Copies of this chain bind each other. A is one copy, B any other.
Amino acid sequence: MIKFQINAIGKLKKSPVLELISSYRCRIKNSLVICEFELKKSAGLPTENLKLREAELLMSNVPAKSFVFSMDERGELLNSHQFADLLQQKVQQCYSSFVFIIGGAAGLDKSIHDRSDQILALGKMTLPHMLARLVLVEQIYRAECIINHHPYDK
């Protein structure tokens, strides 16, 4: 069993985007945990300090021996099959935990990129972080389908 984990800034309330994320999440056969973090007393913090403190939260619960992706539109662009192949290759290299880091509106601190195994882009376009979360969950589901030769991905 593979463990997928998304560490993200911002708590999603009951909303259409949460409903969509939940619907894809239910279809994922492996474990997918979404950990939401929110900085208390962030108002008025300079952006660089905010990003640094968010980075500490985002990296606080990364299981040992995880393969860590930081999500950034300036990262590597993979198509869905290349993403599935990469996951499969890492599983063959004995990784069983994958962590995806999604920052907040201020973006990710450089320290996250330094501590990541791969910087991954869902596209070059900037997405609101809630849509990025949705697209990522859908791509994790799609990767599972590709690996398992499920007809979802044509």
Contact = CB atoms under 8 A, between A and B. Distances in A.
Contacts of A80: 124-126
A123 B122 contact: yes
Contacts of A131: 134-135, 138
Interface residues on A, range: 20 to 34
Contacts of A106: 154
A73 interface: yes
20 contacts: A16-B16, A16-B19, A16-B20, A73-B79, A77-B123, A77-B124, A78-B124, A79-B125, A79-B126, A80-B124, A80-B125, A106-B154, A121-B123, A123-B123, A123-B124, A123-B125, A125-B142, A126-B142, A131-B135, A131-B138
- The 10 A-B residue pairs whose C-beta atoms are closest, nearest first, are A123-B123, A16-B16, A16-B19, A79-B124, A80-B126, A77-B124, A80-B125, A16-B20, A122-B123, A125-B139
Interface of A: 16-17, 19-20, 23, 73, 77-80, 82-83, 105-106, 121-128, 131, 134-135, 138-139, 142, 153-154
